[in-house]
Structure 1
């Protein structure tokens, strides 16, 4: 049975995509801790961090760094945070988010009440920052599709 993330990547469930390449996608979470909170997800169904081949994990880390730099620019954040939890979905994903303090690192502060228009605006803001940083080739043409 495909994971939730595979179903999103395959277009069965909607997602807000800000990055796509042949190995990974980045989409905004529907329960952000801070505005712009994104998930770096491998296209391959890898259950958890320790199951990932080293080359895939290295690629995901570089993508996370690139997204973090764009988040810092887009939200004028002093830091970009990287969290790996993965208990809720058995498909590896890295949480990357603009951070201002330690509360920016707590899933207890995740919001499930963010209006769709606000999530769309955050996605476009991050997509614009990625383009401005020279990564337009990896920004999908359509917010709702992981295809380039």
Structure 2
């Protein structure tokens, strides 16, 4: 059965898409730690990051760096944190989180955004990638 992220990549579930390339896909986390919290996932469904082959791993990290740099340009924050935990969804995903303080990195503090706010921040990040 495909993961929720595979369903998002395939367009079966809507998302606030940020970017994609041949191998990877980025979209806003709908339960964000901070405004602009983005997930970068490989299009190929793999459960654990250490199970990615070297090429796929390096492509995901390079893609995540590009997206993270766009977040830094477009979302006011001290820096963008990166974490890979992978317990909730069995599909590799990199969290890129705009950090204002350590509470943004704990996954215990969540922000509520409206659909309009999600779309605005997604557009700002997309524009910064260009």
Whole-Å Cα distance in 2 between the matches of residues 29 and 125 of structure 1? Answer: 15
Whole-Å Cα distance in 2 between the matches of residues 85 and 27 of structure 1? Answer: 17
Post-superposition offset of 1:114: 2.0
Aligned residues: 130
**Equivalent residue, structure 2, for 1:4:** 4
TM-score between both structures, scaled by the size of structure 2: 0.94
**Equivalent residue, structure 1, for 2:113:** 114
Indicate conservation of the 8 Å contact 2:35/2:113, yes or no.
no
Indicate conservation of the 8 Å contact 2:75/2:121, yes or no.
no
Whole-Å Cα distance in 1 between the matches of residues 100 and 69 of structure 2? Answer: 14
Show structure 1 runs of 5+ residues with no match.
132-148
Post-superposition offset of 1:77: 2.4
Whole-Å Cα distance in 2 between the matches of residues 127 and 54 of structure 1? Answer: 27
Post-superposition offset of 1:101: 2.0
Whole-Å Cα distance in 1 between the matches of residues 92 and 31 of structure 2? Answer: 17
Whole-Å Cα distance in 2 between the matches of residues 28 and 77 of structure 1? Answer: 16
1:84 is the counterpart of 2:79: no
Indicate conservation of the 8 Å contact 2:39/2:94, yes or no.
yes
Post-superposition offset of 1:118: 1.0
TM-score between both structures, scaled by the size of structure 1: 0.83
Whole-Å Cα distance in 2 between the matches of residues 60 and 101 of structure 1? Answer: 26
Show structure 2 runs of 5+ residues with no match.
none
Structure 1 consecutive aligned stretches of length 4 or more whose deviation exceeds 3 Å:
none
Q: 3-state SS of the aligned residue for 1:109?
A: coil
Indicate conservation of the 8 Å contact 2:72/2:79, yes or no.
yes
Whole-Å Cα distance in 1 between the matches of residues 75 and 10 of structure 2? Answer: 30
Deviations 1:30-88 (A, max 9, x none): 01111111000100001011111111111111111111111111123231110111111
